[in-house]
Each structure stands twice: as C-alpha cells, then as structure tokens.
Amino acid sequence: MSKRVLVTGANGFVGGHLCPHLAKHDYEVVCGISGASTLEYPAQEFVLSDADSVNALVEWAGPIDYVIHLAAIAFVPDAAKSPTGVLDVNLLGTVRLIEALRNHAPKARVLFVGSGEEYGRPQALPVTEDHPLNPANPYAISKAAADHYCAYAAAATGAPIVRARPFNHSGPGQADVYALPSFARQIAEMELGKRTPQLKVGNLQAIRDFTHVADVVRAYRLLLERGRPGEAYNICSGKGHTMQSVLDALLKLAKTEVEIRVDSERLRAAEVPEVRGSCAKLTAETGWTPVIPLEWIVRDVLNDWRQRCRA
C-alpha cells in the first residue's frame, strides 16, 4: 500500500518532529514549506494566501495518499495584530488547500490540525469534543472556522478529512514566544552568565494541559491511519498543571539561583484560569495514550535551550 504524505508547514516546530516520525513508519514524506528549511525531504515553498501557489504545491507533490495540514499562523498575539491576515491564512488557506486536493488528489486522506483554543473558556472540565466551539481571539476564530469548513467538506463532498484539536504541547525546537520555552531560555542564559538571574513570568496560577510534541506527532499519525473522516479528536494529556508547577519543575533542574519576577506585559487581561481536555475518544478509536510526563517535557525543553544558547 502506498504511503506518500504531504506535510504542509513542515519546517515549523511540530513539522520538524512529525516528518522524521512519519519516515520512520515507512511514509514517503514530501513537504510544503514557507521560507528556508533544513529538511531532509523533498520540499517546495508555497503561500497559503495564494490559490495558485497552493495548487502548484499539490500538483508538485504528485500522487499523494495523505495530507497533514500544519501550516498556519499559530502565535495568538501575532494573530491579534492582523485579524484579516490570520483569517486569510488559517481559514481561507485551508479552503484553498481542500479545493486544490479536490481537483488534483480527491482520494487523499487529510488531517486538519486545529487547536484546543477553539473551545474558548471551558463550560465544563475536562473538555470533550462535543463542547461548543467558542473561540475568544482571532487565532482561535480562524481555527474554529477552518474546523467547521472541514466538517462541512467531509459531509457535503465525502472528502476524507479528519480533524485534530491539540491542546498545549511543547518540546525541543519550540520558539520562546511560548511560556515554557521562554522560561527555559531565560534559565539557560542565566546558567551561562548571559542574563541577570531574574526570571520574568506571567500568571503562574493558570492551569494548562501539556503534552510532549513526540506524543502529539504519534497521535497525528494514528489519526491519519485510524481516525474517522468528519470526526474531531482532542489531543491532550487530560491532566492540568499550574504554570507554577511547570516553573518549579524547571527550577529543580536549574544550575543557578533564580529570582522570580512577574512581568505585567506577560499577563493577559482575560486569561482562562483552567484548561484541561479529555482524550478518551482518541484513545478509544486509535489506542493512543500520552506516555511522556511533564517532568520529561520540561527537561527536554531546557536541554534544548541550553544547547541553543551555547551555540
């Protein structure tokens, strides 16, 4: 059976883990990228906001059997600065990709990667897939709208589209615009004497559901193989951790004394106090369970930033 897969956004944080994982499981990987890339797989640059560019990517990819659609504007503050831009890329870009696939690879099985942000402020915990979508920022709105479109396309045209809703995930290679890698980078720089030992933090009482990126990419592969078209699946640990506990786990590994300082610029005006999902549906239908604990996530992120800061 052929296993040729197109990964969009392959040169991003998750793509850097996903492509080798797929190759290890006998997939032939081809990549859609934006900007420079060090990937070891055939790759072509494309722009989601340009229909001709998306069509050219799908034609270039050839006889594909699968697609994992990662490409997106993913950082919430960036999306808030350009609502029209994030809707063009995340929503309309997804529509353009589905249209291109309908024209050139109608049988290709698609995994659309959405976000746990689509749910907004939880009405009940843990959040299950039947929780109403109530996105609270432009990024979440763009992902929820694209999610709805994928459900429509699957129902109306029979397109084999599966929807993933990953919650917080981290690991080596993640940018320091996010809380955990930001903490890790600051500590790594302090250990090298490149920064004063004052760690800037935001709201440490917020509770979040963290999964290691290695567990997430395994979930993506299993959903590609076993997920039901038209269905949505949460990818999460099902466990809530305060950001204080995440920081404490980092500080246990730190090789220097650290003073904690709350930075007002890192506080959100309407922050959701607790987010925790349920992965029961994903487990029941694919056999997936998260296996990497928070302590290992923290260790891997810190060691990654130690290496980067020494370079």
What CATH number was assigned to the domain covering residues 175-208+239-275+292-310?
Answer: 3.90.25.10
Q: Is 28 helix (H, G, I), strand (E, B) or coil?
A: strand
Q: Is 304 helix (H, G, I), strand (E, B) or coil?
A: helix
**Measured CA distances, 170 to 63, 91, 182, 189, 293 (Å):** 32, 24, 11, 19, 12
Q: How are beta strands 161-166 and 232-235 bridged, if at all?
A: parallel
What's the confidence (pLDDT) of residue 29? 98
Q: Where are the domains of the chain?
A: 4-169+211-235, 175-208+239-275+292-310
Burial bucket for residue 184 (CB in 10 Å: 0-12, 13-18, 19+): buried
Q: What does the alpha-carbon distance between residue 197 and residue 243 come to, in Å, rounded to a whole number?
A: 19
What's the confidence (pLDDT) of residue 39? 87
**Measured CA distances, 68 to 37, 112, 234, 288 (Å):** 18, 6, 16, 18
Class of the CATH-defined domain 4-169+211-235: alpha beta
Burial bucket for residue 85 (CB in 10 Å: 0-12, 13-18, 19+): middle
What's the confidence (pLDDT) of residue 270? 64
What's the confidence (pLDDT) of residue 198? 95
Residue 62 backbone zone (phi > 0: left; psi -120 to 50: alpha; other: beta):
left
**Single-letter amino acid code for the residue at 75:** F
What's the confidence (pLDDT) of residue 269? 63
Greatest alpha-carbon span in the chain:
59
Q: What does the alpha-carbon distance between residue 63 and residue 40 come to, in Å, rounded to a whole number?
A: 20
Q: What angle do CA 206, 274, 165 make, to 5 degrees?
A: 115
Q: What does the alpha-carbon distance between residue 85 and residue 105 come to, in Å, rounded to a whole number?
A: 27
Cβ neighbors of 241 (< 8 A, separation 6 or more) are 207, 208, 209, 210, 294
Q: Which residues pair with 234 in a beta bridge?
A: 165
pTM for this one? 0.96
Three-class SS of 195-245: CCCEEEECCCCCEECCEEHHHHHHHHHHHHHHCCCCCEEEECCCCCEEHHH
Residue-wise pLDDT tens for the chain (311 aa)? 569 999 999 999 999 999 999 999 999 999 999 988 888 999 999 999 999 999 999 999 999 999 999 999 988 877 788 899 999 999 999 999 999 999 999 999 999 999 999 999 999 999 999 999 999 999 999 999 999 999 999 999 999 999 999 999 999 999 999 999 999 999 999 999 999 999 999 999 999 999 999 999 999 999 999 999 999 999 999 999 999 999 999 999 999 999 999 987 777 666 789 999 999 999 999 999 999 999 999 999 999 999 999 98
**Single-letter amino acid code for the residue at 43:** A
Three-class SS of 79-110: HHHCHHHHHHHHHHHHHHHHHHHHHHCCCCEE
**Single-letter amino acid code for the residue at 104:** H
